[in-house]
Amino acid sequence: MRWTGKLLFISLLCLQTHIAAAQSGRGALVETQIADEIVQPSTTTVQASIVAGRPHAVTATLAGRVMLEALKIGQTVKAGDIIARLDVSELDHQIALLTAQQNETANRLQEVAENIKFEAELTRIAEQQLQLLASKADRAAELVKRSAISQEASETAQSALLNAKQQAVSRAKSMAALGFSQSQLELSKARTDLQIARLKDERADAVLKSPVDGQIVSLFQQSQGFARQGDVIAAIRTVDDYEVEADIPSRYLRFLVQAGSISGRMSSGRPVDMSVRVILPEENQRTGTRPVRLVPNGALPRGLQSVGAQLEVAVPISEAKPSIVISQDAIVPVSGGHIAFVFDEGVAKRQVVRLGSPMGDNIVITSGIAAGERVIIRGNEGLNDGAPVREGKPPKRAIPSANDSDAVVEEAPEMATELADDAKTWKLVWQTRRGETEAEFILSSGASLYNGEPVAVTRDGDKIIFAGELVLPFGILTLDFNLQETADSLNGKVVLSGLPNGNTPELDVTGTVK
């Protein structure tokens, strides 16, 4: 009883000391977040893969010789980039012939126009002559009535009048024929103009260009060869051509339709939000599943831009119900489970938690945390139960410096994501007790990616240092790489931290160019 009282007194004294220390500003600096209660269904994890629709085709617009640009399969192109050129010598020959025909028609049109002017003048003279002879015939008829001239003279005047009328009709006929010829020549010229315009359009289309921004997935077999009209010269796939396909149990489809969208996770741990596009009308009788096509909400991550790439999706399996959600940064893996620290009046309280399904950067907590509690999401590394803490902004995680292994440099707030032209892809391999592990590392002067995620790289000559993350069921591991680069290798060490047993093994890494 005496020892029990002493232990209770010591515990109360330590707690008061912790609280006093926290209130005096001597506690560890931590960042907190309120645990939210949201209404969502329970979920199960289903494996999904990337599928692709039909790519955009660049086809030969006419039959003839094809000359490809210096392109390779897998190369990315922009809309308007030249893919190939078609031989246009035959088009040029046809355009030259039609141009000569056009000039000939123009000359004939000019000739007809001149003839029309002459005929118009002759017609005017014939009309004047007709008027004169008509006047003479009228006077002759009057004189015959008065017996001033003979009937024969009157008939001669009438005959001359009829001849004049015949000439007038003939001139009108010639004018009509010339007008018809002019119309025919103008139609012929318009037809030739259209043919030349079409040939010029075909000539312009003979420079085959990419219709979209994308990646070349197939190319004409020869750099120079003969192609028929309509032959596919190149197939280009855009980011929008990719979709996610998952086989979902039929009994869960109604919950999926209600949700409308689901979350997924890449092998690197990066979250992907998706929406349901269509449920295909095909059911696998053996598994009781139907294929569902999903489209990403936003740009598809680079690591998923490949047919057959794998990811996990969280499929709803029940009606929506209240759930507690906190940031995944609040979770600390320990031997046998997971814990989180609750901020309670300047003291960090250790809580054992049970994890549900992930939701992007957050995760569902099925027990251990109540809605409204303030959980520690930064600065929780190495905390003990009852440790004094104070709210603030902990410094960013430091990464090793290449110049001094004991020194650190602050991680940049924003990292570049655009790869430079000197990008080089490495396959990193190391051996653990669970077997061989591999990762993809893309190194460039502009940005660097580890399993599709941007990483900050420190370089000193041929020494390369960076840190990546690996999401496992029990938590997130940090991998600190210290590598040496040569022309065809990237070898060195990787240190793993964040294991439940607290070990930080150092493993040998070998890297080869992909």
Over the stretch 128-147, which tens digit does the pLDDT of each residue have? 888 888 888 888 788 878 77
Task: Report strand pairing: 387-391 vs 28-34.
Answer: parallel
Buried b (16+ CB within 10 A) or exposed e, 71-102: beeeeebeeeeebbebbbeebeebbeebeebb
Q: How far apart are the first and last CA of the chain?
A: 70
In the structure, what pLDDT confidence band is assigned to residue 476 with cuts at 50, 70 and 90? low
Name, in order, each residue with C-beta under 8 angstroms of 462's C-beta and a sequence gap of 6 or more. Answer: 484, 485, 486
Please report the DSSP string for 76-113 in residue order: EE-TT-EEEEE--HHHHHHHHHHHHHHHHHHHHHHHHH
Helix and strand numbers, DSSP H then E, in the chain: 4, 34
- 216: which residues sit within 8 A by CB, 6+ positions away? 71, 72, 73, 74, 75, 76, 77, 234, 235, 236
| Three-point CA angle 468, 474, 475, nearest 5° | 35
331-335 average pLDDT score: 82
Bigger pLDDT: 462 vs 401:
462
For residue 197, the model assigns a pLDDT of 92
Q: What is the mean pLDDT of residues 83-99?
A: 90
Share above pLDDT 70 across residues of the chain, in percent, rounded to a whole number? 87
pLDDT tens per residue, range 371-385: 999 999 988 877 888
Between 3 and 43, residue with greater pLDDT: 43
pLDDT score of 395: 56
Tell how strand 490-497 and strand 506-513 pair up: antiparallel
Summary mean pLDDT of the chain? 82
E strands in 345-385: 347-359, 362-367, 374-378
Report how far residue 176's alpha carbon sits from residue 170's, in angstroms, rounded to the nearest whole number: 10
What phi and psi, each to the nearest 5 degrees, are found at residue 426? -115, 145
Strands (DSSP E) contained in 69-200 are 76-77, 82-86
Span 95-102, average pLDDT: 90
Identify the pLDDT of residue 49: 93
Among 22-31, 142-151, 202-211, 494-503, which range has the highest average pLDDT?
202-211
Position 47 scores a pLDDT of 92
**CA 391 to the chain's CA centroid:** 42
User: pLDDT by residue (tens digit) across 167-208?
Assistant: 888 888 888 888 888 888 889 889 999 999 988 888 888 899
Residue 89, pLDDT > 90, answer no
Distance (Å, whole) CA 5 – CA 506: 47
Better pLDDT: 136 or 288? 288
Q: Please report the pLDDT score of residue 29 as a whole number.
A: 84
Report, as an integer, the average pLDDT of 89-118. 88
pLDDT more than 90, % of the chain: 21
Per-residue pLDDT at 343: 93
Please tell me the predicted confidence (pLDDT) of residue 514: 81
* pLDDT for position 79: 92
What average pLDDT does this structure show over 479-508? 83
Mean pLDDT throughout 415-440?
A: 83
7-16, 101-110, 215-224, 450-459, range with the lowest pLDDT? 7-16
How much is the pLDDT for 471? 65
Judged against a pLDDT cut of 50, whether residue 304 lies above it is answered with yes
Exposure string (b/e) for 174-206, b if CB count within 10 Å is 16 or more?
bbeebeebbeebeebbeebeebbeebeebbeeb
Would you give the DSSP letter of residue 306? S
pLDDT of 410 strictly over 60: no
Across the beta sheet with 457-460, what order do the strands follow? 453-454, 449-450, 435-443, 424-432, 506-513, 490-497, 475-485, 463-472, 457-460
Whether 294 has a pLDDT exceeding 70, the answer reads yes
Q: What is the DSSP letter of 320?
A: -
Distance CA 156, CA 382 (A): 136
